[in-house]
Amino acid sequence: MPTIVQAARELFEHGELPNIKRARACTDPALRAISDIAHEAAASKQRHVVMLTGVPGSGKTLVGLQLVHARWLDGLAVQRDGQKPTVPAVFLSGNGPLVAVLQDALASGGGGGKTFVQDIKRYVKTYSRKVASAPPEHLVVFDEAQRAHDADRVAQVHKKERAQSEPEHLLEFMLRVPEWSVLVALIGSGQAIHTGEEGGLPMWREALEKVDAGNWIVHAAATTEAAFAGAAFELRWNPALNLDTEIRHHLVPRAHSFVEEVLDHGRVDRARLLAEELRLKGHRFLLTRDLDSAKGYLRERYGNAPRVLARYGIVASSKDKLLPEWGIDNTFQTTRTLRAGPWFNQAQDHPLSCCRLETVATEFVAQGLELDMALLAWGTNAINHVAPVSPGQARVLSVPIVSEA
């Protein structure tokens, strides 16, 4: 699989992804379904909303990137003031590091990489103030839409006394677009990080019923039926709109089970069996208590790899307070200045590259982004995060510091 960044580069420069059979087999049905929906919306002058659900790593973001780069959208755009919109689609996300990395990767194409990829907060701010202005895009993709901000969070972020939720804002913006529009919401399972991000599908249903419910035709997989049962808008079920195959980590599908055993259950024997299964399939968890040894291993392992493609770096929890004593500066004042774009994108010898193994990315930077190999600095804040035990019987599990993924 290409990383998200590589995919974005390929899309922007060549108009299509490399022909990767497994990825295409899993995501092509969804792409075809959404393409058909967009063509129907343009032909019949309708407003459609697509709920594309899926497990983490199933290709939802890649589907969204392919959609906004689709050349066929140019022919569907409606002329305004004698000219068609220069950008018929846009990819929006509230994941700041993802937006920064994608924009940095696409910056060579002009416009600071913001032509197809924009931050949802900035987008909402722009069009909520320009109440008479219609966005140029007919098709909008909202990544990680399950983490959309509710009204209280929007009011807090935009410093307003009263506000609409992000779904309400987007729906209202789409109604302004001439003749037709399609909003594609990419819905993952869980993954909320901040308060105000827990609304999920119920918040989208509420927004659809608030903002001119009679205008919307909503497409989703039947797996969402419980959230939309009895809704006031038209519903069409399509099984292609649920991606249930994990393609990003398809060689190690049980890695998450190992992590759950270590962190949530503390069943050492079970974790050991899973670790052996993963090892036999080529996935290794390497343990060291020597930071210099870990760095040396990474530099040697990827010494002959293409300078731009090999991605390895240090990641750590923002909550651990003892790591700085061991050479891992995960403090807020330091990590807040890390620039996600160069950290993930630049060549190994660039001073801001992750491959220099000098700066640390916490969970707030590494959310949903990929490294070929992560040097995970495992500290004290996770030691006792296992199944409850009786007082005086505290248990410590030996867990990896370096994880190859």
CATH classification of the domain holding 64: 3.40.50
- Domain end among 210, 243, 276: 243
- Give residue 166's pLDDT band: very low, low, confident or very high (50, 70, 90): very high
Question: Rounded to the nearest 5°, which phi and psi values hold at 174?
Answer: -65, -30
- pLDDT over 70, % of the chain: 85
Please indicate, yes or no, if residue 249 is contained in any of the structural domains. Answer: no
| Token pair of 395 as six digits | 């248990």
pLDDT at residue 395 is higher than 80:
no
Higher pLDDT, 111 or 134: 134
Query: HSE-up of 328 (CA within 13 Å, CB side)?
Result: 29
Higher pLDDT, 7 or 242: 242
Higher pLDDT, 248 or 117: 117
- Give residue 176's pLDDT band: very low, low, confident or very high (50, 70, 90): very high
Residue with tokens 């061991």: 326
Question: 205 and 118 in one domain?
Answer: yes
pLDDT at residue 365 is higher than 70:
yes
The CA-based dihedral angle spanning residues 51, 8, 362, 340, taken in that order and rounded to the nearest 10 degrees: -130
Residue with tokens 């991605």: 311
Query: Across all residues in the chain, what is the average pLDDT?
Result: 83
Report the first-to-last Cα separation within the chain, whole angstroms. Answer: 13
Question: 239 and 289 in one domain?
Answer: no
Question: 340 and 199 in one domain?
Answer: no
pLDDT of residue 42: 97
- Which is it for strands 89-93 and 47-54: parallel, antiparallel or unpaired? unpaired
pLDDT at residue 238 is higher than 90:
yes
- Domain end among 190, 221, 243: 243
Question: 288 and 230 in one domain?
Answer: no
Total domains in the chain come to 2
Question: 293 and 236 in one domain?
Answer: no
Domain hosting 395: range is: 284-404
Please indicate, yes or no, if residue 294 is contained in any of the structural domains. Answer: yes
pLDDT at residue 284 is higher than 60:
yes
Question: 288 and 181 in one domain?
Answer: no
Question: 378 and 319 in one domain?
Answer: yes
pTM (2 d.p.): 0.79
Question: 288 and 238 in one domain?
Answer: no
Question: 301 and 164 in one domain?
Answer: no
Please indicate, yes or no, if residue 99 is contained in any of the structural domains. Answer: yes
Question: 310 and 179 in one domain?
Answer: no
- Which is it for strands 312-316 and 360-361: parallel, antiparallel or unpaired? parallel
| Token pair of 358 as six digits | 């000098």
- Domain end among 191, 220, 243: 243
**Mind listing the pLDDT tens digit for each residue in 316-359?**
999 888 899 989 999 999 999 999 999 998 888 899 999 999 99
pLDDT at residue 314 is higher than 60:
yes
**Mind listing the pLDDT tens digit for each residue in 201-218?**
899 999 999 999 889 999
Question: 234 and 340 in one domain?
Answer: no
